[in-house]
């Protein structure tokens, strides 16, 4: 399996948005995203993974404990005309009636 995960270099990961994007693309391919998929992105940050999932048609909710991260994600949301719900909360405090097909916790 040819994956950047096996050649992980902390310094390149921290300094390279492209590295994260490539990892995200591989994950998206693996998940076989369809419009019916309901996804929870825990620790969504500014939405770097949440947004591509939504663009592919998934119903995505992003949560993050950082108010600043959620504000950044919501600003991006306005630019992209995507239907993502963002909440500033911890996984322990998050409540939802949605039954998720996929739960991601990437960081």
55: β partners: none
> Rounded to an integer, what distance in angstroms lies between the CA atom of residue 11 and that of residue 87?
30
Q: What is the pLDDT of residues 48-80, one digit of tens each?
A: 889 989 988 899 999 999 999 999 999 988 888
pTM: 0.76
**Alpha-carbon distances of 87 from 36, 63, 79, 90, rounded to whole Å:** 21, 5, 18, 9
């Amino acid at each position: 399996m040819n994956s950047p995960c096996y050649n992980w270099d902390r310094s390149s990961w921290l300094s390279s948005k492209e590295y994260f994007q490539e990892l995200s693309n591989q994950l998206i391919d693996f998940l076989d995203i369809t419009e019916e998929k309901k996804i929870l992105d825990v620790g969504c940050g500014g939405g770097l993974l949440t947004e591509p999932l939504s663009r592919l048609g998934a119903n995505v909710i992003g949560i993050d404990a950082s108010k600043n991260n959620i504000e950044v994600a919501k600003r991006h949301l306005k630019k992209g005309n995507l239907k993502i719900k963002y909440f500033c909360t911890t996984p322990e405090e998050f409540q939802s009636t949605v039954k998720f097909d996929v739960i991601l916790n990437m960081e």
